[in-house]
Structure formats: C-alpha cells, structure tokens
Structure 1
Amino acid sequence: MEPTSDTAMAHSWASPSFRPERIEKLISDVDRYNSQNRSVLLEYLDEQLKNGTYDALANFAILKLFQLNPTEFGYDAMVNILIKTLTAAPFPDFSLCISLLGEAPIAKTSQSNAGSIDSATGIISEPIVVRLAKLSTALSETRFREFWALYKLPEYEDIRKYTANIAGFEAALRQVVLNSVKGTFRTISETRLSGYLDLQDASFAEYISKQPGWMLSNGLVTVPLNIDNEVKPTVVREEITQENLSKLLAQA
C-alpha cells in the first residue's frame, strides 16, 4: 500500500532523521526519566531552537521530568516547548504537553519572568500559556488569518520575544499552512492564500515561487497534485453467489 502524507508525517514526528544517536538511546529507555539527564535534554532543546528542528518525544521527556521533579521546573524551557508544538499542527502536541503540565505538582514559583503560579490552578493557568492555547486552537482549526491576527496583538508581545529567538519559527508555521492547503485544494485564490500565510504582494509572490510545484498566475495559485488532493475514481466490485441470487429472486 502506498504510504499517505499523514503516514510520512507521523513517522517523521516519532523518529526525526536529525535526532542524534545519544538522544535516541536516551528517550528509548526508561532512563529518560532520570533527573540526571535533564541537562542533556535541555541542551538538545537549545539545539532545536537554534537550528529550527523539532523533536516532540524528546521535549515530552523534559516535561515529564518537570512533572516528576517539580523543584527543577524550568519556565523558559516550558514556554519554548509549547511554542515549538505550534509548528507541529495538526498533530495534538500542544494538548499532550498541557496534559503533562496539568499533572505537574508545581507550587508557587519565583521566576522573574514567570510571575506567581498558584498551586491550586497550576502552570496551565499562566497568562502566556492561555494565550498559546488560543494560538494552538486557531491553528488546529485551520483559522490561519485569526492566528496571525492574535499573534500580532500587543498582549502577545511576550510570546514574540520568545519566538524571536527560535530559528525558522514563522517559516515553520507557513509550512503548516501549506500542508493544510495541499490536502484540500487544487487551486486557491491569491487573496485567500496570502491571508493564510500573512504575506502580501511581492513577498507572497516570491514565497510561492520558491515552493516546488506551486504556481501563481492571474490571481490564482495552483497547488501541486498529491495523494491527498487528487481525485481518483473508485471501482466497487460486488460478488453475488448463485445461492444468494436465487434467494433474492425468490423474494422479488
């Protein structure tokens, strides 16, 4: 059976080709929950932020360590991990992270940029986490124009300060948009797609020209043919035995 794009994406999500062997061995073993490995995983997270990669399972392991060792909770690491999950849409990575954070027995913290976290409500009630949740929902529901509008609001400035230090963040988000459009459209208007990508005029035209197989002409964008948007006729073959045919005729 020919693999679908979703299958390929799932494989890349679980086993990214860029994952170092040392990390592969670590997260494939129960030792990934050893607090002594916290620094190794955090260093790997920094690598992801610098080179624009994203390794979900390694980042989940970090949040699990925070859950098991609340005194070693890292606020900035948590925010960066949640932001990186946005680039994984439509996979439910953000929700999975929230589940881990929601179970973490985190008492009040005193990080200079975190504010006070009430142990009764936990980290998931932090304003920045709530705002990230709204961004995640907009992406997962393919409300791309709403996503960019929210992202640009003054109250989201704290998030933009983080994303400014994450290589390729906006490029990865636009790839999320393209992946969604590829699975739905054969053609789409320039106005609509430019709104989805938050790119206008020359910037939009240049961006589309760099996408293999995508073409912009007379205000219309042609999407490359792929296994998700290609319409194929389906032939249904039914076999009826002589015995069943006799019963059918007898009932007529």
Structure 2
Amino acid sequence: MATESASASQWVSPSSRPEHIEQLISGVDRYNPQNLDVLHDYLAQQLDDGSYDLLANLAVLKLYQFNPSDFNYVVVINILLKALVAAPLPDFNLCISLLGEAPLPTIPVKAEKEATTAGDDGASLAGDDEDDVVEQPKDVPSAGHLTDALIVRLSHLSTLLFQARFREFWSTLASEDYSDVREYAAKINEFENAARRVALNSVKGSFTSISEKRIASYLNLSGAELEEFINAQPGWKLTNGTVSVPANPDNEIKATVIREEITLDQMHKFLSQAQAPILRA
C-alpha cells in the first residue's frame, strides 16, 4: 500500500519537477497560452534527462486544445512517446483524449445529418414533401478517431506494451514501417530503457525467477548488455542463465488458509433442518 501511495505521489508531483512548473500547472496560469514556451522548454528537459511529468505535458495538450493555432506536431509526438513508455499507466490514452480537436486527420465517429430544402429562405417547411429534403453528412472532427499515420503507429506500440506483448513490441519497433518512430525515439534519452522497465515491472509481478533467454527476448538485449542491465536493477541478479526477481507483494507465494467458524447454535439449526424431512417421512 505504501508503494502504491508513493507511485501515485510521483505521478501527481514527480520529484524532478521544478518549483516554477509546479506553480504554473497548479493554478490558472496553466491555461495561459503565453506559458507554452516555458512548458515546451520543460518538455525538452524531460527528453534530455529522461525525467517524466505527465501533468505538465497534459497542460501543453490542453493549451493546444484551446488554441489550435499554437499546435506543434513535433511536440505532440514527443509527449506521446514519453507517455507510451509509462505503461501500464493510462497516460498515453489520456494524451490521445486531448487531441480530439487538434488539427489532425480524423474519421468522424458518427455523421450528423443536416436537412436543407430548396426554399427561398433555406428553411424547412412543415408541409414540404420528404423528397424535397436533402440530407448531407456533417463531419465532426473533434468527435472522431485520429488517423494520422504516425500517431496510429504509436497507438499500436502502446497497445503492445499495455498487453505485455514485449517481443512483438520490439520487432514492430524495428520494422521498416516504424522508421519514423525510431527517428523520434532516438532523440529521447532513455526511451528504450524506459520500455524495458515496463517489461521488468510486468515480470516482477508474475515471476520469482525467469530464464535468461526468456527475459532477453522481453528486453531486446543479450550477452553483456543484458547482464549489465539486469544487475543494475535493485534486487535483480543474473547467474547461471537464470534471473532472480526480487520479492514483492505481487510475486510472493503465500499459503492461504480459509477458516469457517460455526457456532454450536448454528450447527444445531443446520442438523435440525437436515433431519426434519426424515422425521416427517
């Protein structure tokens, strides 16, 4: 419970967040578009030093939502990449939800119908025949699904991480179709290691030990690189082809004892009810 509380605290207010950013996103100043440059600089800092601050990045996307003319595609992709490797937290979907009104290609979820007539004033009259009414689809991009190719690819990678399909994640990321993703990710410090930590968190909750070959496929590492990465994690150890996973509340094996206490009065009632049909017979 204490660990979960600490994680939640870091999610809301990470220790790496500067004081001026804390003040900015905690008040009404987060809605001031003049603060975009400050938030952009803070995002650049996150890309350089490997830190991560979701709420500050969401503030950027919210400002884009209110001020579409300030929209910056590269900034959005960088924010999505940072959120992607925060799985299994829902950060990526939170970011996507704020892009509904962004100047990006979309597919409308539902086409609304607009009735028009050939009347002089263009108004619909109660006595008009149905044949005189022309129905036209009305696009509502803000209620649609994003179809930007790069964002769709990022969404697929996010799904793979969220579903713990780590082998497929690495093979997909390395594919030719995802070369643009790799170009952006290469500019983000610790991006791949952040994805590896997602895999480690999943393994930590399911295993007490795991084979070197198996975890190597999850981390996309081998040999000395794998050994160095594993041994750098607190409590993890790679020896003789087996990785020892540190004990934690999720992987501890505990015997479960189920006790049912029945009082003498309850037992008496139970036996009486069981014998009643026999006595009546």
The TM-score, its normalising length taken from structure 1, stands at 0.87
- Which residue of 2 is the match for residue 106 of structure 1? 103
Moved more, 227-236 or 49-58: 227-236
- Cα distance, 1:240 vs. partner? 4.3
CA contact (8 A) 2:64 2:102 kept: no
Which of 45, 64, 67 aligns to 2:65? It is 67
Quote the Cα distance in structure 1 between the aligned partners of 2:155 and 2:104. 21
Structure-2 change in CA distance of 1:168 and 1:107 (3 Å): closer
Q: Deviations over 1:105-142 (max 9, x none)?
A: 5278xxxxxxxxx9848782111101101110100000
Write the distance in 1 (CA, Å) between the matches of 2:259 and 2:217. 44
> 1:94 — aligned with what?
92
**Greater Rg over alpha carbons, structure:** 2
Provide the aligned length of Structure 1 versus Structure 2. Answer: 240
The unaligned stretches of length 5 or more in structure 1 are: 109-117
Structure 2: unaligned runs, 5 residues or longer: 106-138, 275-281
> 2: distance between equivalents of 1:51 and 1:119?
39
Q: CA RMSD in A?
A: 2.2
Deviates more, 1:27-36 or 1:138-147: 27-36
User: Are the counterparts in 2 of residues 215 and 222 from structure 1 also a CA contact under 8 Å?
Assistant: yes
8 Å CA contact retained: 2:212, 2:242: yes
User: Percent of counterpart pairs with the same letter?
Assistant: 54
- Give the TM-score taking structure 2 as reference length: 0.78
Q: 2:186 aligns with which of 164, 167, 187?
A: 164
Tell me how far 1:101 sits from its aligned partner.
0.6
Paired letter, 1:140: F
Paired with 1:248 and 1:97, the residues of 2 have a C-alpha distance of 58
1:13 counterpart = 2:11: yes
- The structural deviation recorded for 1:227 is 1.6
Once residues 243 and 65 of structure 2 are traced to their aligned partners in structure 1, the CA distance between those partners, rounded to angstroms, is: 46
1:136 corresponds in structure 2 to 158
Query: What's 1:53 paired with?
Result: 51
Distance, in Å, in 2 between the alignment partners of 1:23 and 1:210 is 31
Report the CA distance between 1:237 and its aligned residue: 4.7
CA contact (8 A) 1:214 1:224 kept: yes
Q: What is the deviation of 1:40?
A: 1.6
C-alpha separation in 1, matches of 2:243 and 2:219: 13
Q: Which amino acid aligns with 2:221?
A: L
SS in 1 for 2:98: helix
Q: Which residue in the other structure is 1:185 paired with?
A: 207
- Rounded to whole Å, the distance in 1 between the matches of 2:220 and 2:104 is 39
> What's the counterpart of residue 202 of structure 1?
224
Whether the 8 Å contact between 1:63 and 1:101 is mirrored in structure 2 is yes
Q: 1:221 to 1:205 in 2, by over 3 A?
A: same
